[in-house]
């Protein structure tokens, strides 16, 4: 007799910036792994709903929730809407931005503030909401957080976007610090550090050809896919990673 595969329902997973790229791939893979997924997005409602539709067509459970992670009120509302779906057990701090190629001495204060506000403070605001719900200290059942760093945190991105690299360096430190802070409260906190991944983020930084231009200098002579990063994220969320916390996993093809 064929063995029956039972998909155990996990809790609710909030994926910020889930409407495209790595976030969308993570939302879809996590849904297949049994999570009920909140697909957060900032502006592209159609793209977010397309992700939700694909998950539901695949037999999964998902909702799309608009909200800017840089806005405290939006983040509170995002988690309130996630509460309505069930018990929150996971957060993927994926929403992130780059900006156009500039030297540090050319960057405006507004650019610097926006970069830190979205990439760093946005991730910290979402983690606060998740910890308040998941920590056993607050009566929660535990959970897992995965932050999106970047190899830029290590390379520094000179002449390109040092501000972005700095924001991802902060994410590495946040992963270490929060991971240790809540390790005894049932919450694991890890990060992935992607290399060059084929998504629209490069075009949003004014360089749609960046992936093609970089390909030949990458150790594996190819870029990564959003699905390859999603696989690492979903593993870090899973019971398979039950003794992994405070870890920063390079998903960069050796870069």
Residue ranges in contact with ligand NAP by CB under 6 A: 16-17, 19-23, 40-44, 47, 68-70, 94-97, 118, 122, 148, 150, 194, 196-197, 199-201, 204
The least CB distance from residue 248 to ligand NAP, in Å, is 12
The least CB distance from residue 199 to ligand NAP, in Å, is 3
Which is nearer to ligand NAP, 9 or 46 (by Cβ)? 46
Asked if 145 and 135 count as a contact pair (C-beta separation under 8 A), the reply is no
The least CB distance from residue 168 to ligand NAP, in Å, is 7
> Left, alpha or beta for 209 (phi > 0: left; psi -120 to 50: alpha)?
alpha
Which is nearer to ligand NAP, 85 or 198 (by Cβ)? 198
Which is nearer to ligand NAP, 82 or 148 (by Cβ)? 148
For the chain, the farthest-separated pair of C-alpha atoms sits apart, in whole angstroms, at 68
SS3 content of the chain, % helix, strand, coil (to 5): 50, 15, 35
The least CB distance from residue 19 to ligand NAP, in Å, is 4
Write the CB contacts of 196 (distance below 8 Å, at least 6 apart in sequence).
Answer: 210, 211, 214, 215, 218, 223, 224, 252, 253, 255
Of 41, 161, 164, 243, which one is the catalytic site residue? 164
Active site residue 164: yes
Q: How far apart are CA 107 and CA 201, in angstroms?
A: 19
Which is nearer to ligand NAP, 33 or 44 (by Cβ)? 44
Q: How far apart are CA 139 and CA 125, in angstroms?
A: 20
Active site residues: 164
């Amino acid at each position: 007799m064929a063995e029956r595969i039972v998909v155990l329902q996990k809790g609710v997973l909030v994926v910020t910036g889930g409407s495209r790229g790595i976030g969308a791939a993570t939302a879809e893979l996590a849904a297949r792994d049994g999570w009920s997924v909140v697909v957060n997005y900032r502006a592209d409602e159609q793209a977010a709903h397309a992700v939700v539709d694909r998950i539901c067509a695949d037999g999964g459970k998902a909702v799309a929730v608009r909200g800017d992670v840089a806005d405290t009120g939006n983040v509170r509302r995002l988690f309130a809407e996630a509460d309505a779906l069930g018990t929150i057990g996971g957060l993927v701090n994926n929403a992130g931005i780059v900006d156009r190629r500039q030297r540090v001495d050319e960057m405006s204060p507004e650019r610097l503030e926006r970069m830190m506000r979205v990439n760093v403070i946005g991730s910290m605001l979402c983690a606060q909401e998740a910890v308040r719900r998941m920590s056993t200290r607050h009566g929660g059942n535990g959970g897992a957080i995965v932050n999106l760093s970047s190899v830029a945190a290590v390379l520094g991105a000179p002449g390109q976007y040092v501000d972005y690299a700095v924001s991802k360096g902060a994410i590495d430190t946040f992963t270490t610090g929060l991971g240790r802070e809540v390790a005894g409260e049932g919450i694991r906190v890890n990060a992935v550090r992607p290399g060059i991944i084929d998504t629209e983020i490069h075009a949003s930084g004014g360089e749609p050809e960046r992936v093609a231009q970089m390909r030949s200098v990458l150790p594996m002579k190819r870029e990564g896919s959003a699905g390859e990063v999603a696989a690492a994220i979903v593993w870090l969320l899973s019971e398979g990673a039950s003794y992994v916390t405070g870890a920063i996993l390079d998903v960069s093809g050796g870069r």
